[in-house]
Structure 1
Amino acid sequence: MTFYAESYFEQQQQLESMINYAIMVLLLILIVFNVSRYLRHRLHSRNRDLGIIFFLLLLIFTGLQITNLEHDYHQHAQTLQMRPFIQAVAKDHGLRASQVVVNSTTLTDGILVRFRGRDYRVNMSPNGDNYTLTRAHVVDHTVTIRK
C-alpha cells in the first residue's frame, strides 16, 4: 500500500511534461534549420521534406502536450485539496503535517490516513467541509511512503 506525505503534494514533478517541452524545442530548432537550408538550396527537396516531417512531429507532440496539460490541471486541482486536509488532521491531533500520510492523491470519502502508527478511514460530509476519522485495520501491512 502506498501512502503520500504532505511533501509529495508540495514537490510534485512534471518530468513527462518537461521531456515533451524539450522535444518540442528540438523539433522547432530542426524546422528552422531545415527551412534555412531549403531556402539556400531550393533544388534539393530533401530539406523541404525533412522540414515537413519535423513540422508534423511538432504538431503531434503539441497535441500530446495539450492533452497532458489538461490532465495535469485536473489532477492539480484535486491535489490542492489534500494539503489543507493533511494540515487540518495534523492540527486536530496535535501533530506536525509531516507526521500525517494519506493513501490517495485526491480527497474522497473512504481514503486512509495514517499517523502515530495507526490507520484511520476518512468519512467526508457531503459538502466536504468536515470529516470523521474511524479506526481502520489494513490487510497488507507493507507500506511505501512517497515524500
Structure 2
Amino acid sequence: MNFYTMDYIIEHQSTDMIIRSTFIILLLAIVIITGFRFMKDRMKTRLRDISIGIAVFTFILLGIHVENYTKNHKDFSQSHVLVKFIESVATAAHVSPEEILVNSTTLKDGIIVRYNEEDYTVHLNDDNNSYTLQRTHVIDHNVYINGER
C-alpha cells in the first residue's frame, strides 16, 4: 500500500506543470527565432517550413497542457486542502505533521491516515469541513512511503 508524506504532497503539486510550461515556452522561443531568421532571408523556405512545423507542434502541446491543467486543477486545489487536513490531524493527535502518512494525494472520503503505527479511515461530512477518524486495519502490511518500492 502506498502512503504519502506531507512534504511529498507539497513538492509534487506543480512539478509537472512547471516542466510542461518550460517546454512550451522553449518551443515558442524557437518559433520566434526561426520566424525572425526567415524574415531576414525570405529566399530560404526551409526556415519557414521548420517554423510552421514547430508552431503547429507547439499549439498541439499547448492544447494538451490546457486540457491537463483544467483536469488537474481540482486535484491541485484538493492537495492544498489535504495539507490543511494533515495539519489538523497532527494537532488533534499531538504529533508532528511529518509523522502523518496518507494513502492518497487528494482529500476524499475513505482515505487511510497512518500515525503512531496505527491506521485510521477518514469519514468526511458533506461539505468537507469536519471529519471522523475510525480505527481500521489494512490487509497489505507492506507500506511504501511516497509510492517508492
Q: Cα 1:99–1:73, aligned 2, differ >3 Å: closer, same or farther?
A: same
Q: How does 1:1-147 map to 2 (within 5 A)?
A: 1-12=1-12, 14-146=14-146
DSSP-derived class of the 1:108 partner: coil
Is there any run of 5+ residues in structure 2 with no aligned partner, and where? none
Query: Which TM-score applies when normalising by structure 2?
Result: 0.86
Is there any run of 5+ residues in structure 1 with no aligned partner, and where? none
Q: Distance in 2 between matches of 1:84 and 1:20?
A: 27
Q: Distance in 1 between matches of 2:46 and 2:60?
A: 21
Q: Distance in 2 between matches of 1:90 and 1:19?
A: 32
Q: CA deviation at 1:28?
A: 2.1
**Counterpart amino acid of residue 64 in structure 1:** I
Question: How many residues matched?
Answer: 147
- Please tell me whether the aligned partners of residues 103 and 113 of structure 2 are also in contact (alpha carbons under 8 angstroms): yes
Q: Alpha carbon RMSD of aligned pairs, Å?
A: 1.9
Q: CA deviation at 1:47?
A: 1.7
Query: Which TM-score applies when normalising by structure 1?
Result: 0.87
**Counterpart amino acid of residue 37 in structure 2:** R
**Counterpart amino acid of residue 98 in structure 1:** E
- Please tell me whether the aligned partners of residues 13 and 79 of structure 2 are also in contact (alpha carbons under 8 angstroms): no
Q: Distance in 1 between matches of 2:64 and 2:145?
A: 30
Give the % identical residues: 32
Bigger mean CA deviation after superposition, 78-87 or 62-71: 62-71
Bigger mean CA deviation after superposition, 107-116 or 14-23: 14-23
Larger Cα-atom Rg: 1
